[in-house]
Every structure is written in C-alpha cells, then in structure tokens.
Structure 1
Amino acid sequence: MSPTILLTKPTSTSPEPTARPPEPTPPTTWTVTTVEGITLTGHQPDWSMDNPSQTGITLDQAVNYLRGYAHYTMLPVDPVLPPATLDIDINGTRYRESTSALFAAQIACHPYAPHPHEQVPTASLTIVDAWDFEGLTPTDLARFATQIRTQADYFENTVLPELTTAREDWVLHTGGGAAGAP
C-alpha cells in the first residue's frame, strides 16, 4: 500500500484497531546505603508521603529503621461542624462551633513488620478522641446523621478505591509481601 492509501479512511467494515494500553511506568524505589557499603532497596509507592532513603547509617541502624518504617498517606477529609458543649460556667453553658475532622483516613504499609497483614497497605481511621456531642437539638442531630452518611459515602467512594489501588500497586511491584516476598 502506498502512504496515500494509508491516510484515507478505510471503507471496509473491519473493526477499528484498539488503542495500545499506556506503557507502564517503571517502579520507583527507595535506597538505604550503609557505612559498610551495603545497599538496601525497595518499592516506593507513588501514594506514599515519605521516602525511607538514607545514607551513612550502620547496617544495624538500617535494619531497625526499616522495621519501624511505614509508607503512608493522609487522605483529605471534609470537616464536620456540629456544636459541642464545652462546659458549664457561672454564666451558663458555653458552646463552641469549631471545625474538627471526624473520621480522618490514612493508608499505611509497614513492609518489614513482623505480621504479614501489616506488610500490605491497610486503612486507618482516626475518630476524634474525647469529643462529646452534647445538647443536640433534633435539627442538630439530623444534620449530624447526614454528615455521618456523607462520611460513610466518602469511605466507600474515596478511601476504599485509594486503598484498593495502593494494594494492587503493592502486589504488582513487590509480589505481595515485604520487599517482594510472596
């Protein structure tokens, strides 16, 4: 075929060629180089907010450091704003309206943890500690219930897909366990 024919729209009813999938990006790695000249490397997830790369530490320090290391990311959360009773003073009850994150979400992976279930990405939820919602009117309680439903939707529609993607990426680049162990 000539180049001219290749540039014309085909008249046959053959199916359109499928698009090529995007080329996979090479995995990113972290590196710890010890003073003894030993180099340790591992998968650095795109989602992790931290990188354990270090130089100039002893092998013992590197081992202890990596045992306690966690890849992590904090996911954004919408603030919850119900009124909460602070305390009662001489003048009566004082209320505060403040923005506080209720149910903050984080994804973490401890590649060298002693327990296998910690060696793959998991989600953690922080429920605000010692925060009492007191004196709520029916309107306040209805608003709070709506916010909790919205938060549940956030977990299902945002945190769950992020965690699933992080786990799939981890298995793809490490074979499933710590440092590529099955």
Structure 2
Amino acid sequence: DRLLGAGGYGEVYKGILHDGTEVAVKCAKLGNTKGTDQVLNEVRILCQVNHRSLVRLLGCCVELEQPILVYEYIEDGTLLEHLQGRKSGGRSSLTWNHRLRVAHDAAEGLAYLHSSAVPPIYHRDVKSSNILLDEKLNAKVSDFGLSRLAHTDLSHVSTCAQGTLGYLDPEYYRNYQLTD
C-alpha cells in the first residue's frame, strides 16, 4: 500500500520522515544502469530549479548501489488518474475550470524550464501521468529522468528522440531536434 508507481527506472514509494512529513521516495532498479543514469540526471536537473509548478526534490542518496531520491509528496495522484476516473469511482471529477487550471499550471512550469532556468531545460516526457495534483488540484510537473539541459550557444540540439510514443512532438520525433 506504500507503492505509488513503477516504471522502467524503478519504483516510487510513499514515505514518512521523522517529523511526520509525507514524502515520495524514488528507488532506481538494482543493476539497471539506464535507470541509475536517469535518477542521476534528475538530480542534476532538479537541483537547478525552483518553481511552484515543478515537483521539489528534498534530498537524495546516490552513493548506494540503488540510488534514492526523496521528493515532496503530492497527495492527489496524477492527472491521468483523474481523467480516467480512478480517483472518483469511474468518472472524471475534473470540471473544465479545473482542467484549464491544471493546463495553466503545467504550462507555467514548462515555461519556467524553457525561459527562466539557466541553462534552459527540455523535459522530453510531458504526459498526464507525469503531472501530479495536490488536494486543491494545483498541478506540478514531475519525472525529470529524460530531461536535458539546453546549450545556450546553439539554436537547436540534435539528439535521439526520448519520451513516450504518442506524446512526442511529431517534429521532434521526425528531426531529433529540440528548439524553442
């Protein structure tokens, strides 16, 4: 009942600190080099950002065989769970006003990454399961494992396409270039 989610990188658990603060704990899979690399990338990215629409990294331990990240706990699950009705017995409880606010919050977080972070950051895996909602339905962008720092001296960056098929920008998928 403490498992919040799992993916190719590892698992996320709900934890409680000694002072009673609830947290989310991401553990990389043992022996999974790619998962470990994603966790380390996430630490590099999240140490550089601070915005109300981005999930906060509270701490980490990367010296273990299985790196661990500790995040603020966002209690009301993912946008995907709300849209699919898993949070309200089969029907989405999100009104159109809620949905607009969630979209606005997520867009603010992404705008911060692209325009205010130095260097700019490309998330590369924006999807409804990576948007977390708190009890007031404020949205926070999460899961920065595939994120990439931009090179400020270049007009575009060529890379292999990363992300979730179906959510990828078709131009990025076709050209392998990240641009503003």
Could you say whether these structures have the same fold, taking a TM-score greater than 0.5 normalized by the shorter chain as the test? no
* TM-score bin, normalised by smaller chain: under 0.3
TM-score, scaled to structure 1: 0.24
TM-score, scaled to structure 2: 0.24
